[in-house]
Chains A and B, each alone.
Chain A
Amino acid sequence: MWLELEKRPEASRLFTFLSPVIALLLTLVCGFVLFAALGKDPWQALYLFFIDPLREEWSLHELAIKAGPLILIGAGLSVCYRAGNWNIGAEGQFIFGGIFGSAMPVLFHAWTGPWLLPLMMLMGMIGGALYASIPALLKTKFNTNEILTSLMLVYVAQLFLDWLVRGPWRNPEGNNFPETRMFDPPAVLPAIWESSGRAHWGFVFAIVAAILLWFMMEFTLRGYQVKVLGQSSRAGRFAGFSASGMVWFSFLLSGAMAGLAGISEVSGAIGQLRPSISPGYGFTAIIVAFLGRLSPIGIIVSGLILALTYLGGEAAQLSLGVSEKVTRLFQGLLLFFVLSCDTLILYKIRFNWTRLGGARP
């Protein structure tokens, strides 16, 4: 038996919508089999993983806290990927956003005022954008592969943060713990709805940013340039669009988004810098971007879904004794299924029972 692909005359609208749904269902089926293989009741496990976290007010807040950075980073990455630039170092840009944004409350904690939070957010974006400008510069100037450079810089950023919080930025009154001082209240991103839970304004930033990016992609010349250059840089050149300009634009934009996510997380959810400030948001956001069909609005939905896998993993560990590492496994499987289901958009799949593939005379 062999699979054969037949190109559709035009992209299937039905499968454009259905493919992420099928991918989610297939992931659930895999989860069912996996939990059954681990000797757990699969129905109960899936319920705990995907439904239980949605039932209580406080856990909805946790969902928003996890979804915020995923949506912010994912929306920025979607523009980058649409433009054909592969920034996979968002994790590092997230960290540098956290570091830059924390400079004020850590180094000058006595200076406060209503301008402090906006300044921190701005510096976070600058930090992320600056860190993303390294692969952009290397790609435009030296023709280096941005996938490899942006990824290598993630490791460098992690080590740099580790050095900061163990060395120069360590809390002098912190009993030698590797962390900075706790931020003073004026430097903490406030909760959206104080009386009901701790979800902070980072989630609002994410929704607003996603809508703005959607508007940019759909209704502006810039969005059109992104699409044209992404589909064919040759066509873009004939239209007079600058490919290297687009490298800069998409990297700076996605870096700034990741940086904003970083400082929002540090200021709103953690309240200080620690050796590790992200449970892999920068990488998970890649899955968010693809599950959301590289459309900022779709990414809001997919960000919430992947945030749920983090919560579900914690819940499954507490009540079932299943390792929380199952979360990353689910996330990886989901991306695999999304990518394979996307084939259905452009191709019909036929089963050929008679002969193996290859050229015909």
Chain B
Amino acid sequence: MTVFESILITIITASTPLLLASIGELVTERAGVLNLGVEGMMVMGAVVAFAVTQMSGSPYIGALGGIGAGVLMSLLFGFLTLTLVANQVATGLALTILGLGLSGMVGEPFVGVQGIKLPALLPPWLSDIPYVGRVILGQDLIFYISIALVFGVSWFLFRTRSGLVLRSVGDNHASAHALGLNVIGIRYLAVMFGGACAGLAGAHLSLVYTPQWVENMTAGRGWIALALVVFASWRPWRLLIGGYLFGAVSIGQLHAQAFGIAAPAQFLSALPYVATVLVLIVISRNRRLTLINTPASLGKSFVPDR
């Protein structure tokens, strides 16, 4: 395997959790809900996926466990913000704090335990083909799901009636309600989809990226995923670009450290976070464009009148 191939593979591995978490959050935000708890859902997904894998012996069942954990966390968020109309920003922060604390406790017996890696999906004769085979066809199931979700979500949002309904709820919840749509119910579904994706993203971290459990192993990826949604102007296709750009930045700094670039290691480690800030500046600079792209009801609570 050439160096170039292995760099491409690591970029894909680093980008997949970002892409997954952000595609879920994109759907949630398109329905008008700002869930800042991605980091918390993701870290819970990571620890539960790891734990279930250890107990069942199958990383596939583990990944399902991660999805389940993400959905449960998102339901907690949904209950507070949708049913009890609590402030979405504060509740999202609470979800992250809770997730980091709970995952630390749940994961304590698993620190230092050898993990089980999610195997490549396709048979070896396909994944041994140079370049295309080794880089693309040698990946695990979660990678293919992440790519399929970009296609699927894009099709769903802009080509189906249900997608139109979801977007209308996010753009004007009062009108959607007046049309007889169940605003709260649709938002619950969108929040749960976001939770499932964040949970799967976490599972990818603890089953593929580094097959072990380390406390706080998400290291801000949930927040970067949130920034990616802004970067993508709430359009699924642009997430693909954003996700892989950020994966490349975070891998690039690792390779730079390995090659002994003169800059201190801490400065290189700070690159993904600095890059996030820079990208936000470039994207948000045009106020009018931001206003057009942002779902109009984003972050606003809705209480049905009767």
Chain B hits for A145, CB < 8 A:
227, 230, 280, 284
The reply to whether A331 and B101 contact each other, CB–CB distance below 8 Å, is yes
Chain A hits for B303, CB < 8 A:
5, 7, 347
The reply to whether B185 and A358 contact each other, CB–CB distance below 8 Å, is yes
B160 beta carbon closer than 8 Å to chain A? no
B65-99 at interface with A (beta carbon < 8 Å):
76, 79-80, 83-87, 89-91, 93-94, 97-99
Stretch at the interface among A58-66, A228-236, A333-341: A333-341
The reply to whether B94 and A335 contact each other, CB–CB distance below 8 Å, is yes
Of B36, B269, B277, B287, the residue contacting A159 (CB under 8 A) is B269
A342 to B86, CA, bound (A): 8
A318-361 at interface with B (beta carbon < 8 Å):
323, 325-333, 335-336, 339-340, 342-343, 347, 349, 356-361
B5 beta carbon closer than 8 Å to chain A? no
In the complex, per-residue mask of B208-228: 1 if CB is within 8 Å of any chain A CB, else 0 = 000000000001100100110
Of A3, A287, A332, the residue contacting B102 (CB under 8 A) is A332
The reply to whether A143 and B285 contact each other, CB–CB distance below 8 Å, is yes
The reply to whether A138 and B105 contact each other, CB–CB distance below 8 Å, is no
Chain A hits for B100, CB < 8 A:
328, 332
B161 beta carbon closer than 8 Å to chain A? no
Q: Known contacts A163-B266, A340-B84: does B89 contact A86 (CB below 8 Å)?
A: yes
In the complex, per-residue mask of B267-306: 1 if CB is within 8 Å of any chain A CB, else 0 = 1011001101100110011010010000000000001101
The reply to whether A143 and B287 contact each other, CB–CB distance below 8 Å, is yes
Chain A hits for B108, CB < 8 A:
323, 325
CB distance from A257 to the nearest CB of B (A): 18
B180 beta carbon closer than 8 Å to chain A? yes
B177 beta carbon closer than 8 Å to chain A? yes
Chain A hits for B267, CB < 8 A:
159, 163
B232 beta carbon closer than 8 Å to chain A? no
CB distance from B285 to the nearest CB of A (A): 5
The reply to whether A328 and B270 contact each other, CB–CB distance below 8 Å, is no
A301 to B183, CA, bound (A): 39
Q: Known contacts A147-B36, A147-B89, A148-B230: does B182 contact A359 (CB below 8 Å)?
A: yes
A/B interface sample: 7 pairs, CB < 8 A: A144-B281, A147-B36, A148-B223, A156-B274, A283-B97, A332-B97, A332-B101
On B, residues with C-beta under 8 Å from A are 36, 76, 79-80, 83-87, 89-91, 93-94, 97-102, 104-105, 108, 177-178, 180-185, 219-220, 223, 226-227, 230, 264, 266-267, 269-270, 273-274, 276-277, 280-281, 284-285, 287, 290, 303-304, 306
The 4 closest A-B pairs by CB, nearest first: A332-B98, A328-B101, A325-B104, A358-B182
